[in-house]
Amino acid sequence: MVSADIARSLQELEDPSAPHHDKAAAYKRLLDKIVSSTTSPDLTSDLGAFINSILGDNLGIVAARPLLGTAVESIKTLPDLDSRIKAGTTALSSLESRIVSFEEQDAQLREMLADAYTQREEYIEAAKVLQGIQLESSQRRVPDDHKVGTWIRICRLYLEEDDTTSAESYLNRAKNLRHKVNNPELVLGFQLSEARILDARRKFPEASQAYHSFSFSPVLDEEERTRALSSAITCAVLSPAGPSRSRALAKLYKDERAPQVPEFGILEKMFLDRLLSPEEVSRFSESLSPHQLAQTSDGSTVLAKAVIEHNLLSVSKLYDNVGVDELANLLGLDADKAESYAARMLEQGRIAGSIDEIDRVIFFEGVEARGERFSADQRRSTAARELRMWDARVQGVAEELERVASMIQLHHPVCRESCA
């Protein structure tokens, strides 16, 4: 409720018979009086009534704009967070019908409210408030840096609540103007948001590359660079096994900073194609985000799938062939599921080999270690070459046997005669 003293003063200022030449100065004095009473229980109501009054018809737009700007600054200085939000929300409601005339002040008010909501960790509310800022306007010129900064801020607020769909829509807006922005902090904010969205959408190879590039920025402090490197390693570990991930792991393993992060142990084992134990995987999973532990279409988690594929790839480099049942024991799966994983990776060209379904044996060709990815034609060509080599070896044995028989007949003619 508006205090009686303030209500009386506003009524006097709104009186049509009051002198107009001193009205703006009188409003300014009244605002100073309102904000000086920081302990008043009617403070937010008094500020709301003041803003409603200056937005009325008793003051011109030119006089009202600076007063409204001063009122917004006064709301920012309120010590109580709830009071700031309440006063700011009331002011926004009052501005709603006249926003075209007060776009600058509306933007200031929304940014102040977004700061308050962020302090209360109400990120969605903060994002919604910022969405109302008129960035494409004919009434004022908004610099490209400010547009991009606002969109990136909205994007990051949505990411705090794991709303990647909304976050990506604002990142795409910023992407259209990125080439016009030279502010290093905005560029970094864009790169980090892009990496987090790729991570959340489980595009782990691309996310790993984005985080790794981000970790080299000289603008960041050492702690933030180390955190970005950890995220790059985590995403590389979660990537599908194959040549692409092998290259990413090699790049990260050769980074001289890698031994300093907790994820180095699992990175080293994966890079060296060693089998991962359940205990190591369990320790690593404790550091993962919820979306990195989500279930995939086959019922397994992202991490479990990545580990199974890695261990299968390691087996293909350790052995020339392995029985399906033995592979299942190594992977900790049932035989059908182990064979299904192997068949899928063979089909996608991430490992080279074949499956003998009659003898239930998987043969590995061992070429994947060189980073080759096999197409269907290449796999058929490889199989044909192996068959030709087999035929050549059989022919060689037969020819050698015939040569030995001829030599025996030549040196032991008795044998030839008795045999005849």
Record the tokens describing residue 269, joined without a space.
């084992």
| 360 Ramachandran zone, left/alpha/beta (phi>0; psi -120 to 50) | left
User: Considering only CA atoms, which of 325, 330, 294 is closest in space to residue 310?
Assistant: 330
Reported as type and span, the H/E element at residue 356 is: strand 353-356
pLDDT for 167: 92
Most confident of 3-7, 68-72, 138-142: 68-72
Rounded Cα–Cα distance for residues 202 and 208 (Å): 11
Q: Are 85 and 48 in contact (CB under 8 A)?
A: no
pLDDT tens, 261-300? 999 999 998 888 888 888 888 888 888 888 888 777 767 7
Least confident of 9-23, 54-68, 162-176, 349-363: 9-23
Pairing of strands 321-323, 353-356: unpaired
- The whole-number average pLDDT for the span 152-171 is 92
Rounded Cα–Cα distance for residues 312 and 308 (Å): 6
Least confident of 20-29, 100-109, 247-256: 20-29
pLDDT score of 139 more than 80: no
Rounded Cα–Cα distance for residues 285 and 289 (Å): 9
Q: Which long-range CB contacts under 8 A does 275-282 form with residues at least 24 apart?
A: 275/311, 275/314, 275/315, 275/330, 276/307, 276/310, 276/311, 278/332, 281/307
For the CA atoms of 9, 14, 19, 25, what is the dihedral angle to 10 degrees?
A: 60
Rounded Cα–Cα distance for residues 420 and 416 (Å): 6
**Helix (H/G/I), strand (E/B), else coil: 177:** helix
- The whole-number average pLDDT for the span 44-61 is 77
User: Confidence band (pLDDT; 50, 70, 90) for 52?
Assistant: confident
pLDDT for 371: 41
- The whole-number average pLDDT for the span 121-150 is 88
Record the tokens describing residue 87, joined without a space.
């006063």
pLDDT score of 372 more than 50: no
Burial of 300 (0-12, 13-18, 19+ CB in 10 A): middle
- The whole-number average pLDDT for the span 291-316 is 82
User: Considering only CA atoms, which of 197, 270, 190 is closest in space to residue 231?
Assistant: 197
User: Confidence band (pLDDT; 50, 70, 90) for 17?
Assistant: low
pLDDT for 195: 92
Rounded Cα–Cα distance for residues 245 and 250 (Å): 8
User: Considering only CA atoms, which of 356, 390, 359, 338 is closest in space to residue 382?
Assistant: 390
pLDDT for 381: 58
pLDDT for 166: 92
DSSP per-residue codes, 293-327: G-B-TTS-BHHHHHHHHHHHHHHHHH-SEEEHHHH
385 vs 64, higher pLDDT: 64
Beta bridge partners of 286: none
pLDDT for 376: 52
pLDDT for 353: 85
User: Confidence band (pLDDT; 50, 70, 90) for 301?
Assistant: confident
**What backbone phi and psi angles, to 5 degrees, belong to 391?**
-60, -40
Q: What is the pTM of this model?
A: 0.70
Query: How far is C-alpha 235 from the geometric centre of its chain's CA atoms?
Result: 10
User: Confidence band (pLDDT; 50, 70, 90) for 370?
Assistant: very low
Reported as type and span, the H/E element at residue 362 is: strand 361-364
| Matching residue, tokens 């990120």 | 123
Across the beta sheet with 361-364, the strand order is 321-323, 361-364, 353-356
User: Considering only CA atoms, which of 393, 326, 317, 391 is closest in space to residue 353?
Assistant: 317
Distances (CA, A) of 373 to 312, 348, 355, 368: 16, 8, 18, 7
- Give the chain's mean pLDDT: 82
User: Where does 77-220 have alpha helices with state H?
Assistant: 81-95, 103-119, 123-131, 144-160, 164-177, 184-200, 204-214
**What backbone phi and psi angles, to 5 degrees, belong to 374?**
-95, 130
pLDDT score of 368 more than 50: no
361 vs 10, higher pLDDT: 361
pLDDT score of 417 more than 60: no
Record the tokens describing residue 150, joined without a space.
């606002």
Percent of the chain clearing pLDDT 70 (strictly above): 89
Record the tokens describing residue 43, joined without a space.
């403070």
